[in-house]
Amino acid sequence: MTTELDSTPTTRPPEPDPPGWRRLITFPAGRRAKFLVILGWLVLAGIAGPLAASLTSVQNNDALTSAPHSSEAYQAQQRVEGAFPGADALVAVAVYTRDTGVTDADRAAVEADRAAFAQYALDGTVPAAVPSEDGQALLLSFPLAGDSDAQSDATTEIRDALSEDKPAGLNTALTGSAGADGDIFDAFEGMDLMLVLVTAGVVTVLLLVTYRSPVLWLIPLLTVAIASQVASAVVYLLAKNAGLEVNLQSQNILTILVFGAGTDYALLLISRYREELRRHEDRHQAMAVALKRSFPAILASAATVSLALLCLLFADLNGTRSLGPVAALGILAAFAAMTTLLPALIVVCGRWLFWPFVPRVGDVVEREPRVWSAVARLVRRAPGRVWGASAALLVVVAFGASTLSLGLPADETFTSEVGSVTGQRLVEQHYAGGTSAPAEIVVDADRAPEAVAAATGVEGVADVADARISEDGRTALIAATLADRPDSAAAQQTVERLRDAVDDTGAQVTGQTAAQLDTEHATDRDHRVLMPLILAVVFLVLVVLLRAIVAPLLLIASVVLSYAAAMGAAAVILHLIGYPRLEYSIVLTTFLFLVALGVDYSIFLMTRAREEVRRLGHTPGVLRGLTATGGVVTSAGVVLAATFAALCVLPLVPSVQIGVIVAVGVLLDTFVVRSLLVPALAVHVGPKIWWPGR
């Protein structure tokens, strides 16, 4: 809760009419303008609702698994799809096993399935079942016919058929790309609504605790819900008409960011409005002043996060690149709603919204809460020791990150066992590990014999099939079964050897393992390029906002240290819940969120501190900024951490990892960096922190 230093309120005289841009900022607080703002947003919400509900229909989740467009795997896959129609179809791999050996009844059941599955197969036929060498398994593998909807329906029907009318003791499972795709669809069915409900519930509880009012919490929650609908509608329109890519990951993060950032902006504005209600009898004037005072910090926050997100447009990795504009649109929608619709709604409702703690002119204003007064005294007495101890703590915690590893196996992607994972394990028990997802070699048809010969001698290749020639006779496709499971490091090393072996023939290698290998290489490149770019963008925004060089440098250093500590602290939790192996894109995604969102709280602190420094002098001004923003920034940090933690309800391990790391990082920023490290550094460095400004 933001409070005043003075024990009695002061009623300020009416301020002169603001210049043009400030008049625009305060427009929602106008006596008639507030109704126009509300009407405009209601119309917008009415239009946005149906469009937002259709967002799932334009999802393209291929970007989450496909290799970068510049990679060999992607280029080879494009070559395959051009020469072999239907080559991009999902592949169904049905596996049947019996520990005591396959019986005649089992073989008859498999043949019956083979005949039944022909209606779903690309060419109308399913190849003969492949027996395992140990005699304990049979395997059917075939591409599916039709468009994505038809393939999805076929996957469901095949999976149902595998579980019905089978001889007792025969184990069955569906794996391959069709099985994995079906498991993802099933896992996320209804999860969009679940995520919204959990996030809204978390925000509701925290707003009730923060405001201690049975009514006030409804206004920011309603506003952020409308902002979420508008953001989803805009993303839908751009995805449908302008080629913007959206996938299940970016849609979920869009929801989290709008609720989290929007609530933070609401807390900052309402806190300042409550201060001004103790100074101004007219609530319209109080809101106008609150908007003028809080708008720069909210704008700086939204600009920092949005520009940092747009840095992802320079990523090689498809899923990472598509996240940037989608999430940035969410931040902009939250910013627009919280600086226009929210103040208009609050002013319409009047002071009674704060019941039972209604702020009035003439009230005795609370002094700073004891905790923030104590923190300010500690920082004043020993700033060097405070920031030194805080930094040392973060460094020690950061060492925990060394216990994490990169590379999440496919069978650990889901938080619970799914059919495709079960099927892959059955395949590995009885066949070469890469049977369900062979490497694919594409080469000119006249050089196919050379490619087959070269591939046959590669270590780690269990089998090389005969070349399949395209209808025009120009291109050959060769399937090379790997000895190891497709998502293993050993399989990736085999692909590298395979590429070297067939390189002289002009061949290219694609397939699941090759795509994963190229994706990891692209991720390494994105880390090297985008992390410095994000830091540079955030630094420039801070320079413009604070009109200084020293302060932005210190803030950037603090968020980098905080990120390292967040990874270390989160490692403890991830080990406890069994997810210490990070999906490759997690490092960059969490870095982006923690740098951009983490610096927000320092922005809120330093903009208020700079305002107070002009009035009180450097050290008193910094400490006044700390005590004035302590409550609201702490509440904002807890809200944002809790909203990201809501990602843990999703059934994918990468979502859980993002939720844990970002939530832990935001809490560290809130309680250590913003509360101790940054203010202690500001006091210790002195007025030079504003250099070259004054």
Fold of 1-60+213-366: Multidrug efflux transporter AcrB transmembrane fold (1.20.1640)
Contact (Cβ atoms closer than 8 angstroms) between residue 26 and residue 292: yes
Contact (Cβ atoms closer than 8 angstroms) between residue 558 and residue 595: no
Closest CA to 259 of 616, 2, 639, 555: 639
Dig out the tokens for 653 from the structure: 């391990």
CA 253/CA 251 separation, integer angstroms: 6
pTM value?
Answer: 0.84
Cα 127 to Cα 20, 174, 180, distances in angstroms:
74, 16, 21
For residue 576, count other CB atoms closer than 10 A to its CB. 9
As averages over each run of 10 residues, the pLDDT of the chain (694 residues) reads 38 49 82 93 94 85 68 91 86 94 95 95 92 94 90 92 90 91 77 75 79 84 94 94 85 88 89 86 90 88 91 88 91 95 93 83 62 90 94 96 88 84 90 88 94 93 92 93 90 95 94 90 92 93 89 92 95 94 90 87 84 89 88 84 86 91 93 92 92 77
- What are the residue ranges of CATH 3.30.70.2520 in the chain? 438-510
- What are the residue ranges of CATH 1.20.1640.10 in the chain? 1-60+213-366, 80-190+370-415+517-694
pLDDT digits (tens, 9 = 90+) for 622-652: 999 898 888 888 888 888 888 888 888 888 8
**pLDDT of the residue at 7:** 36
CA 475/CA 468 separation, integer angstroms: 8
CA 25/CA 338 separation, integer angstroms: 12
Single-letter amino acid, residue 399: F
**pLDDT of the residue at 358:** 81
pLDDT digits (tens, 9 = 90+) for 55-68: 888 887 665 556 78
The rounded radius of gyration (Å) of the Cα atoms in the chain is 29
CA 62/CA 40 separation, integer angstroms: 37
CA 586/CA 654 separation, integer angstroms: 7
What CATH number belongs to 80-190+370-415+517-694?
1.20.1640.10
Q: Look at domain 438-510 and name its CATH class.
A: alpha beta
CA 667/CA 670 separation, integer angstroms: 5
Cα 335 to Cα 19, 340, 390, 529, 619, distances in angstroms:
22, 9, 32, 28, 32
Dig out the tokens for 144 from the structure: 């599916």
Q: Is 454 helix (H, G, I), strand (E, B) or coil?
A: helix
Contact (Cβ atoms closer than 8 angstroms) between residue 349 and residue 216: no
Closest CA to 259 of 304, 189, 207, 191: 207
DSSP 686: G
CA 45/CA 234 separation, integer angstroms: 11
Helix locations, 478-511, DSSP H: 489-502
Closest CA to 28 of 347, 286, 253: 347
pLDDT digits (tens, 9 = 90+) for 371-429: 888 999 999 999 999 999 999 999 999 999 999 998 888 778 888 888 888 898 899 89
**pLDDT of the residue at 256:** 87
